[in-house]
Chains A and B, each alone.
Chain A
């Protein structure tokens, strides 16, 4: 059984059909990168996996459990599926420590007295243990994004979703975030990324998915797809982002 099973998923916003029958499997330990032009439905698919968007038709299962916005244990499921956003979405009124420990403490994952240790542990994994008492506003974009990743890691997720997490960063800050994600990949975390970082997609991902016009246009081994794209759309896309 795949960790994530996506079957014939359709999603429309008003009269615009954004996802037109997506089918995709993600196995445990997979690093799946989703690439494609703006408006191809990549981010919407990611949001559907976490039930931030309700699908119109089809089915998404995570660890065998069918995802729906009205499912009774949606909160428990979301605790197993971390998502990192393009705009970081750290809570500005909480220190780095509180950003990280808020959910683990409130959901009973960790007792309050152990929370700081947990924060230090996950911050060390993203190289920011010295920023535990900082406010988000005092951090660079790259540091904020690494804290956002640490915040997800603190929930010990089984799956991590990344929605264009380097797009809002200055070029010189992209590397530090990618390095953290590479480390996570090496440690066996299952990850689905929407990204424009072709280097990451080529070298770290275990599976590449090219989306076009709301469909999975091509998918397979990244090295093979980059070397020999089957469709002119992927060929054009690869040459346009080089």
Chain B
């Protein structure tokens, strides 16, 4: 087999645009999913019983069904109920809901990991509940969940390729398009793979740097 990457250079702009869309999709879904995660984790720990049940149901359904089917339901089924979303928006919503379910569990575990005695120490100093959360709970909880949360972020980034199935023009979809024009399957997917790999490694490096910057206190070994 002879490798020929030269034909791919013509699609340089398309690849860059696809990469950008993948990043955008990841950031939107991670941002919205994190908001769902924080709200869900707070409610699942202290909300009214029906709300807790509803959130538990949401988590179980989302985590135990294929993300692709969830995306198809939003893109193909919702229009029959009167809600029609363009491909990119549908993918963003589906991935946000998907990421949110995992984020709730991760954040809940982080909050649960803070010893009750820490909260009591804060209360006994006359701090408000918000001050206790903001200054005593938040950072240690974040440190606890950081590895799981960043791993989930990476899985989300890789999972954005599902959006190609509803024709959202992210990186994998762009790859399919270029392959159909050049018939250089190996070269196309090798380059797409390399871009995903570079993106993941860049995020991992950034996360590691951020970790060193934020979580500076020594940990008991």
Task: Identify the A interface with B (CB < 8 A).
Answer: 50, 52, 75-76, 78-79, 81-83, 85, 87, 89-94, 102-103, 106-107, 135, 137-138, 151, 155
Contact = CB atoms under 8 A, between A and B. Distances in A.
B140 A83 contact: no
Interface in B166-221: 215, 217-220
Contacts of A137: 217-220
A155 B126 contact: yes
Given A91-B118, A92-B217, A137-B217, A52 B124 contact: yes
Contact of A52 (B123, B125, B140): B123
A103 B125 contact: yes
A107 B139 contact: no
17 contacts: A52-B120, A52-B124, A75-B127, A83-B124, A89-B117, A89-B118, A91-B136, A92-B219, A103-B122, A103-B126, A107-B127, A135-B217, A135-B218, A137-B218, A137-B220, A138-B218, A151-B125
Interface string B100-131: 00000000000000000110111111111001
Majority-rule SS of B interface residues: helix
B45 interface: no
Chain B, interface size: which category?
A: 20 to 34
A131 to B, nearest CB: 14
A151 B117 CA distance: 15
Given A78-B124, A137-B218, A155-B125, 19 more contacts: A75-B126, A76-B126, A78-B126, A79-B125, A82-B124, A89-B118, A89-B121, A91-B118, A91-B135, A92-B140, A93-B139, A102-B135, A103-B122, A106-B131, A107-B125, A107-B126, A135-B217, A137-B217, A137-B219
Contacts of A76: 126
A82 B126 CA distance: 9
In order of increasing CB-CB distance, the 6 nearest A-B pairs are A103-B125, A79-B126, A89-B121, A137-B218, A78-B126, A75-B126
B137 to A, nearest CB: 10
Given A78-B125, A82-B124, A107-B127, A87 B219 contact: no
B31 to A, nearest CB: 25
B130 to A, nearest CB: 10
Contacts of A89: 117-118, 120-121
Nearest to B218: A137
B49 interface: no
B177 to A, nearest CB: 48
B143 interface: yes
Contacts of B128: 75
A168 to B, nearest CB: 12
A136 to B, nearest CB: 8
A107 B135 CA distance: 13
A85 B117 contact: yes
Contacts of B218: 135, 137-138
A106 B125 CA distance: 10
A221 to B, nearest CB: 30
A162 to B, nearest CB: 12
